[in-house]
Amino acid sequence: MTDVAMRERTPPPATLDRPLDYLHDAHTLRSWLFTIDHKRIGILYLIAITAFFIIGAVAAGLVRLALVVPDGQIFTNDTYNKLFTIHGVVMVWFFLIPSIPATFGNFLLPLMIGAKDLAFPRLNLLSWYVFMTGAVFTLATVVIGGVDTGWTFYAPLSTTFSNTWVVPALIGVIVVGFSSILTGLNFVVTVHTMRAPGMHWFRMPIFVWTMYATSLIFLLATPVITMALILLVMERAFGIGVFDPALGGDPVLFEHLFWFYSHPAVYIMVLPGMGVISEIIPAFAQKKIFGYKFICYATIGLASITFFVWGHHMFVNGQSEYASLAFSFLSFAVAVPSAVKVYNWTATIHKGDIHLDTPMLYAMGYIGLFVLGGLTGLFLATLAIDEHIHDTYFVVAHFHYIMVGGTMLAFLGGLHFWWPKFTGRMYPEVWGRISALLIFLGFNVTFFPQFILGYLGMPRRYHVYPHEFQLLNILSSAGSTILAVGYIFPMIYLLWSLWFGKRAPSDPWNAKGLEWTTSSPPPKHNFIVPPIVDFEPYDYPVKAGESV
Amino acid sequence: MSDRAAIGVELAEQFTDVAQQRRAATLGMWSWLLTELLLFAALFLIALVLRILHPDSVREAAHHLKFWIGATNTAVLICSSLTMSGAIVTSRLGWQRAMVRCMLATAALGSLFLVFKGYEYYQDYIEHMTPFLAWRPYELSGDRASQLYVSLYYVATALHAFHLTTGVAILLGLAWQARANGYLQRHQNRIEIYGLYWHFIDLMWIMVFTIIYVMNR
């Protein structure tokens, strides 16, 4: 078999001192909406998920507003149910899941492994359109019509009892699932086949490892929930009865299928954040990352174990006690690779040349909040304690420590860290630090009281509660206003910096990694000269006496 | 066979060489198939769960399925995989016209499957074996769980038929493109990749047939 290459790879024409970058390559709206450049698609995702985040955050604000008074006077029950459903659906399906993979992953993955683009650029654009179609459709449904099932769509509420627009909301979520699958497919193939010469597996940045692990979860878990949601649509439209005990079905079966995806989805949200933190910390400690291979193995370990712990969401729904025991044990096992990562990050910081710039503040906040979120996860994995605190605010606080304290902080940290690379501009450092501190403070004031509330027995998803819980609820709502300010500042100053920020050099943080070797912003095909990798990852200067 | 065309692959911009492009395309299709496998796997799981929960009802329902139409269709699809393999082999040899004929034969067999499948659905309809139609009462023996199993049969076979319909459409599109001279010189890759997908649809039918029709008889 002979392969005939029809086109020769041509070196780009010689340029002036500043090569034409991807932002200035073309200016029309068309050049953005039909782009197949992974960097531009990353930016398209960034704009979209920011818009979705605002909608989800407004809904969260209204939920916190409703909870200021104990007797549920502010909204009706139905409105309250619809509000927390908007918050959950939008934040989970349209913000957290695509957040880091679809934005930073799209932008950085090819840069970090020294490729010109992802393996399938047109498929990449298609997945953005699929995402937008599904997301906008569902968003319109939950905002205009309203859905009251929560983001989990549990049967029989979603199949039999809800009188809201469940079917269209489900269809949108199903469609968005395909966008995840296509992105995951693209990343897996890109990591396997597009690495630059010399970039072997153990020279890849941790961020690439986490993208790879996340993509595997996209590929293996998403189709299962797609089928579960299709059956839910069938159930509602035709009453076929797979999840209806009156017809011989089983509602718990839906929970199994749902969590077979949705627990791994937690790692779709967490692993990329870990990847971001693993890039930020060595850069701002100016030190080689501690235990590089252990972090790689821990990443793959987490992505594997996560497929076998779904039953810990179902300890009280009547599943077999032996199954619960096994799921409890396996859930404890998750703590091991998580702890490996936390210790490795702290060991990296230890005796480093620490710079407390904005990304590092977010990273430090991340470590602390992730530890709290992770440890409270162990409470929930303990069968006896879970009997007491399941479906309470303890659970709400736990997963917000992971999702907001973890993923959201990593997202913001990464956004500041790579902002110079994305845009070619520096953000204002002082404002960055102020917002990072506000978010850390606001987050803790919002969510720490919820641990106490939950432990005292306040159930989630109710807006009428006993009077003695009011103080803690008001504290939590007050904290959310601080958090809101912390979110609004970056939206303003980052936009401002697009025009008025200082021009960024190619490596403003003195960080290592291929993405910092090209200009800021990068040229259309990422590298003027295709890179050859003959160095180890994170090759920060080694100080005298430091062991590596 | 006559004219032997040069074969090759047009290099897309993002790749360094053709070998890399071929590797990427193959791995991409395998990844997609992995996802598809898990999509069907959820249905197979439910079929097995139903069998464990309601063994008698499931057996009752499975007796109403048209076993011989399903078996014939299995044979038809296996033949279509053979012709698809023919298309791949001829494409590697550069026999473009023979390849197009093999592809058309494959599409014809795929369509034959759909015709049989349609006939089977028609028979089901005549027998009032349509529990999901509110206006048409279910008239076969068996309790609600057996009706549930029948509904699952519809979901599984319809999902497969949807894949096959898409498959035939893409195949016809490829065959249309491959009329032009020099197609193999630019896109031989596509035939290989598409072949994987076709064989997968065949494999999924074999699994649907085994799990839904055969195992519960």
pLDDT greater than 60 at residue A176: yes
pLDDT tier for residue A8 given thresholds of 50, 70 and 90: very low
| Closest CA–CA distance from residue A332 to any residue of chain B (Å) | 27
Euclidean distance between the first and the last CA atom of chain A, given in angstroms as a whole number: 47
Q: Tell me the mean pLDDT in the region B170-186.
A: 93
CB contact B208 to A (< 8 Å): no
Alpha helices in B127-182 (DSSP H): 144-177
Q: In angstroms, rounded to a whole number, what is the distance separating the alpha carbons of residues B110 and B98?
A: 18
**Chain B residues whose beta carbon lies within 8 Å of the beta carbon of residue A121:** 14
pLDDT at A349: 95
Token reading at A249: 């079905």
pLDDT greater than 90 at residue A502: yes
CB contact B145 to A (< 8 Å): yes
Peptide bond into A521 cis (omega under 30): yes
CB contact B48 to A (< 8 Å): no
CB contact B114 to A (< 8 Å): no
**Chain B contact probe: residue of A6, A188, A226, A254 with most B CBs at under 10 A:** A6
Q: In angstroms, rounded to a whole number, what is the distance separating the alpha carbons of residues A5 and B186?
A: 9
Per residue in A427-461, is it b (16+ CB within 10 Å) or e — as a string? Answer: bbeebbbbbbebbbebbbbbbbbbbbbbbeebebe
CB contact B46 to A (< 8 Å): yes
Q: In angstroms, rounded to a whole number, what is the distance separating the alpha carbons of residues B158 and B163?
A: 9
Q: For residue range B131-140, what is the model confidence (pLDDT) as tens digits?
A: 888 888 888 7
pLDDT at A4: 44
**Chain A contact probe: residue of B4, B31, B57, B183 with most A CBs at under 10 A:** B31
CB pair distance less than 8 Å for B38 and A224: yes
Question: Which CATH code for domain B36-214?
Answer: 1.20.120.80
| Closest CA–CA distance from residue B110 to any residue of chain A (Å) | 24
Q: In angstroms, rounded to a whole number, what is the distance separating the alpha carbons of residues B114 and B110?
A: 7
Q: In angstroms, rounded to a whole number, what is the distance separating the alpha carbons of residues A484 and A448?
A: 16
Number of C-beta neighbours around residue B118 at 10 A: 11
Q: In angstroms, rounded to a whole number, what is the distance separating the alpha carbons of residues B62 and A305?
A: 37
Q: In angstroms, rounded to a whole number, what is the distance separating the alpha carbons of residues A532 and A202?
A: 15
Q: Which residues contact B12 (CB under 8 A, 6 or more apart)?
A: B21
**Chain A contact probe: residue of B46, B146, B154, B196 with most A CBs at under 10 A:** B46
Question: What does pTM read for this prediction?
Answer: 0.94
SS3 A503: strand
User: Among candidates A417, A284, A413, which has minimal Cα distance to A354?
Assistant: A284
Q: Tell me the mean pLDDT in the region A82-108.
A: 96
**Chain A contact probe: residue of B9, B11, B14, B95 with most A CBs at under 10 A:** B14
pLDDT at A19: 59
The mean pLDDT of chain A is 93
Amino acid identity at A422 = F
Token reading at B62: 């499975």
CB pair distance less than 8 Å for A9 and B20: no
User: Among candidates A131, A310, A322, A136, which has minimal Cα distance to A228?
Assistant: A310
Q: Which of residues 150-209 of A touch B (CB under 8 A)?
A: 181, 184-186, 188-190, 192-194
Domains of chain B, residue spans? 36-214
| Closest CA–CA distance from residue B57 to any residue of chain A (Å) | 10
**Chain B residues whose beta carbon lies within 8 Å of the beta carbon of residue A2:** 6-8
pLDDT tier for residue A548 given thresholds of 50, 70 and 90: low
| Closest CA–CA distance from residue B59 to any residue of chain A (Å) | 14
Q: For residue range A10-35, what is the model confidence (pLDDT) as tens digits?
A: 555 554 455 578 998 888 999 999 99
Q: For residue range B31-73, what is the model confidence (pLDDT) as tens digits?
A: 999 999 999 999 999 999 999 999 999 998 999 999 999 999 9
Packing angle of the helix pair A166-193, A106-113 (nearest 10 deg): 10
**What is the separation of C-alpha B95 from the centre of its chain, rounded to a whole number of angstroms?**
26
Q: Tell me the mean pLDDT in the region B149-153.
A: 94
SS3 A464: strand
pLDDT at A348: 95
Q: Which residues contact B20 (CB under 8 A, 6 or more apart)?
A: A193, A194
pLDDT greater than 80 at residue A182: yes
CB pair distance less than 8 Å for B144 and A241: yes
Q: For residue range A447-469, what is the model confidence (pLDDT) as tens digits?
A: 999 999 999 999 999 999 999 99
pLDDT at A7: 47
Nearest CA in chain B to A230: B155
Amino acid identity at B75 = A
Q: In angstroms, rounded to a whole number, what is the distance separating the alpha carbons of residues A476 and A61?
A: 11
| Closest CA–CA distance from residue A453 to any residue of chain B (Å) | 38
Q: In angstroms, rounded to a whole number, what is the distance separating the alpha carbons of residues B87 and B191?
A: 8
Q: Which residues pair with A71 in a beta bridge?
A: A464
Q: Which of residues 59-98 of B touch A (CB under 8 A)?
A: 92
Number of C-beta neighbours around residue A102 at 10 A: 26
pLDDT at B148: 92
Q: In angstroms, rounded to a whole number, what is the distance separating the alpha carbons of residues A109 and A100?
A: 11
pLDDT at A545: 65
Q: Which residues pair with A459 in a beta bridge?
A: A392
pLDDT at A374: 95
Distances (CA, A) of B35 to A126, A449, A528: 17, 41, 36
CA atoms within 13 A on the CB side of A307: 14
Least confident of A9-13, A76-80, A161-165, B3-7: A9-13
Token reading at A233: 């649509």
CB contact B203 to A (< 8 Å): no
Q: Tell me the mean pLDDT in the region A91-111.
A: 96
pLDDT greater than 60 at residue B85: yes
pLDDT greater than 90 at residue A107: yes
**Chain A residues whose beta carbon lies within 8 Å of the beta carbon of residue B89:** none
CATH architecture of A38-516: Up-down Bundle (1.20)
Q: In angstroms, rounded to a whole number, what is the distance separating the alpha carbons of residues B46 and B44?
A: 5
Q: What is the DSSP letter of A245?
A: G
CB pair distance less than 8 Å for B43 and A2: no
**Chain A contact probe: residue of B35, B45, B183 with most A CBs at under 10 A:** B35
Which residue of B24, B38, B144 is in closest CB contact with A189? B24
Q: In angstroms, rounded to a whole number, what is the distance separating the alpha carbons of residues A118 and A184?
A: 11
Q: Tell me the mean pLDDT in the region B160-170.
A: 97
Which residue of A6, A223, A248 is in closest CB contact with B148? A248
Which residue of A9, A238, A248 is in closest CB contact with B57? A248
pLDDT tier for residue A96 given thresholds of 50, 70 and 90: very high
Share of chain A above pLDDT 70, in %: 96
SS3 A539: coil
pLDDT tier for residue B1 given thresholds of 50, 70 and 90: very low
> For A23-120, where are the E strands, in sequence order?
none
pLDDT greater than 60 at residue A1: no
CB pair distance less than 8 Å for A224 and B10: no
Secondary structure (H, E, C), A184-230:
HHHHHHHHHHCCCCCCCHHHCCHHHHHHHHHHHHHHHHHHHHHHHHH
CA atoms within 13 A on the CB side of A379: 18
Q: Tell me the mean pLDDT in the region A180-196.
A: 97
Q: In angstroms, rounded to a whole number, what is the distance separating the alpha carbons of residues A327 and A428?
A: 47
**Chain A residues whose beta carbon lies within 8 Å of the beta carbon of residue B151:** 234, 238, 240-242
**Chain B residues whose beta carbon lies within 8 Å of the beta carbon of residue A188:** 27, 31
DSSP string of A262-331? HHHHHHHHHHHHHHHHHHHHHHHHTSPPTTHHHHHHHHHHHHHHGGG-GGGG-TTTT--HHHHHHHHHHH
Q: Which residues contact A28 (CB under 8 A, 6 or more apart)?
A: none
Gyration radius of chain B over CA positions:
20
Q: Tell me the mean pLDDT in the region A365-382.
A: 96
CB pair distance less than 8 Å for B54 and A248: yes
**Residue pairs between chains A and B whose CB atoms are closer than 8 Å:** 140
CA atoms within 13 A on the CB side of B131: 25
CB contact B182 to A (< 8 Å): no
Number of C-beta neighbours around residue B1 at 10 A: 11
**Chain A residues whose beta carbon lies within 8 Å of the beta carbon of residue B23:** 192-193
Number of C-beta neighbours around residue B145 at 10 A: 21
CB pair distance less than 8 Å for A189 and B35: no
Q: For residue range A323-351, what is the model confidence (pLDDT) as tens digits?
A: 999 999 999 999 999 999 999 999 999 99
Distances (CA, A) of A496 to A24, A48, A503, A524: 18, 19, 13, 24
Q: In angstroms, rounded to a whole number, what is the distance separating the alpha carbons of residues A43 and A45?
A: 5
Q: What is the DSSP letter of A469?
A: G
Q: Which residues contact A181 (CB under 8 A, 6 or more apart)?
A: A218, A219, A222, A223, B32, B35
Domains of chain A, residue spans? 38-516
The size of chain A, in residues, is 548
CB contact A529 to B (< 8 Å): no
